[in-house]
Amino acid sequence: MITVEVGLRERAYAVTVGPGARELLARVLPAGVERVAVVTQDGIDVAVDPGVPSTTFVVPGGEEAKSLATVERLCRGFAAGGLARTDAVVAVGGGVVSDVAGFAAAVYHRGVRYVTVATTLLAQVDAAIGGKTGVNVPEGKNLVGAFWQPSAVLCDTDTLRTLPAREWASGRGEMAKYVFLGEGAGGEAGPGAAMLGMSLDEQVAACAAIKAAVVAADERESGRRAVLNYGHTLGHALEAAAFGPAPRWDLRHGEAVAVGLVFAALLARRLGRIDDERVAWHRTVVGRFDLPATLPPGASAAELVGFMARDKKARHDLAFVLDGPRGVEPVHGVDPDVVLATLADMGCAP
């Protein structure tokens, strides 16, 4: 097992990575827990034993589960099942489950403790760590939520053996992001680039360690933590544009982020922040993870810019996380015409 500490003083916790990590659940539950609400999702066949009485709640599959209606159903179920403020919620699943269960834990009784058993690559390398919980509304992804740190995160890499290929792609998009976040200023060698040659367990732990360091420095995203959204501004816009009963394209989260990474590199080059070689490195990393680098057919530049303007980093302007001489950092006040021109470079319709 590999253990990564998330150093948040009184809210500090450990991320444990390795085969069979879920078997540690009873040991990592906070002291005083007498009952557990296990929240999981349709199709997740991962059994856990919390060592105390538990009730299981199953939320629907897909992004549709990330809604205020789901959170209300969970909280009403917690109340009906007698979950006390001293008890805990256990999320078993991927990023959708940890987002929804964590948000429900944050608002039920004004906050109960929770533990995440991450079963997908996306959750293990990113979504389950850092305490960002939330749900979607029609106006955008993750616009309603809370910062609520887990008591522990268990990344059982055995659960990845049966992961569908598209779910692997979703996690690899976040791994590609961490390659760049793990580099030094100006792309100097660092743990990020070394990650390409690591074993899976080591890669998951490396991503967790990079994220843990960023979260410890800026828990509530007042500054540095925004870099964790690298590639996500366009990525979230692509997801939001396709969200609904009749999506126009099928992109998993990590695939959308991969396209967003290439877009961010092209935008940074257009702004004079990086050169052609650095753009090529972005394409190389995305390719090494077998991820897409092009926009889906039918994408509208004007529509995507509209969604990007609603991004959480925005302050009534267009804001992006971009590479540059000081490394990856937030950049505010980007000219919409420059964004539209960059999307046009990628073959996007007006």
Reported as a pLDDT band with limits 50, 70 and 90, residue 246 is low
Of 66, 113, 177, 232, which is the active-site residue?
232
What's the CA gap between 347 and 180, in Å, rounded? Answer: 25
Contact yes or no for 323/265 (Cβ under 8 A): yes
Of 9, 110, 315, 316, which is the active-site residue?
110
Q: Which of 3.90.1150.10, 1.20.1090.10, 3.10.129.10, 2.60.40.420 is the CATH number of 165-345?
A: 1.20.1090.10
Least reliable range by pLDDT among 58-67, 107-116, 276-285: 58-67
What is residue 228's predicted lDDT score, i.e. its pLDDT? 94
Task: Indicate the helix (H) or strand (E) that contains 231.
Answer: none
Of 63, 221, 255, 329, which is the active-site residue?
221
> Rounded to the nearest 10 degrees, what angle do helices 165-181 and 253-270 cross at?
30
What is residue 52's predicted lDDT score, i.e. its pLDDT? 97
64 is catalytic: no
Output Rg (C-alpha) for the chain, integer angstroms. 19
236 is catalytic: yes
What is residue 43's predicted lDDT score, i.e. its pLDDT? 87
What is residue 349's predicted lDDT score, i.e. its pLDDT? 86
312 is catalytic: no
Question: Mean pLDDT highest for which of 13-27, 219-233, 288-302, 310-324?
Answer: 13-27
Mean pLDDT of 65-83: 96
Task: Indicate the helix (H) or strand (E) that contains 321.
Answer: strand 320-322
What is residue 313's predicted lDDT score, i.e. its pLDDT? 59
Of 229, 239, 252, 282, which is the active-site residue?
229
Of 132, 177, 269, 312, which is the active-site residue?
132
Arithmetic mean of pLDDT over the chain: 92
Residues of the chain with CATH 1.20.1090.10: 165-345
What is residue 138's predicted lDDT score, i.e. its pLDDT? 85
What is residue 312's predicted lDDT score, i.e. its pLDDT? 59
Q: What's 125's DSSP letter?
A: I
Task: Kindly report, residue by residue over 34-57, the tens digit of the pLDDT.
Answer: 999 999 998 898 999 999 999 999
3-state helix, strand, coil in the chain (%, to 5): 45, 20, 35
Residues 6+ apart with CB under 8 A from 134: 66, 99, 103, 142, 143, 144, 145, 146
Residues of the chain with CATH 3.40.50.1970: 2-160
Least reliable range by pLDDT among 74-78, 164-168, 308-312: 308-312
132 is catalytic: yes
Q: Is the pLDDT assigned to residue 156 strictly greater than 90?
A: yes
Mean pLDDT of 246-257: 86
282 is catalytic: no
Mean pLDDT of 248-271: 94
pTM recorded for the entire structure: 0.90
Q: Is the pLDDT assigned to residue 149 strictly greater than 90?
A: yes
What's the CA gap between 92 and 283, in Å, rounded? Answer: 34
Of 22, 66, 253, 269, which is the active-site residue?
253
Reported as a pLDDT band with limits 50, 70 and 90, residue 273 is very high
What is residue 186's predicted lDDT score, i.e. its pLDDT? 55
188 is catalytic: no
Of 63, 167, 174, 255, which is the active-site residue?
174
269 is catalytic: no
Of 66, 113, 141, 236, which is the active-site residue?
236
Mean pLDDT of 10-29: 96
Tell me the HSE value of 138 on the side-chain side, using a 13 A CA sphere. 2
Higher-confidence residue: 139 or 339?
339
Contact yes or no for 212/6 (Cβ under 8 A): yes
Contact yes or no for 198/17 (Cβ under 8 A): no
Of 22, 211, 252, 282, which is the active-site residue?
211
Residues 334, 218, 199, CA angle at the centre, nearest 5°?
95
Of 225, 252, 269, 313, which is the active-site residue?
225
Task: Kindly report, residue by residue over 160-214, the tens digit of the pLDDT.
Answer: 998 888 889 989 999 999 999 988 655 555 567 788 899 999 999 999 999 999 9
- CATH hierarchy code of domain 2-160: 3.40.50.1970
What is residue 140's predicted lDDT score, i.e. its pLDDT? 78
313 is catalytic: no
Residues 6+ apart with CB under 8 A from 92: 22, 38, 39, 40, 44, 46, 48, 117, 119
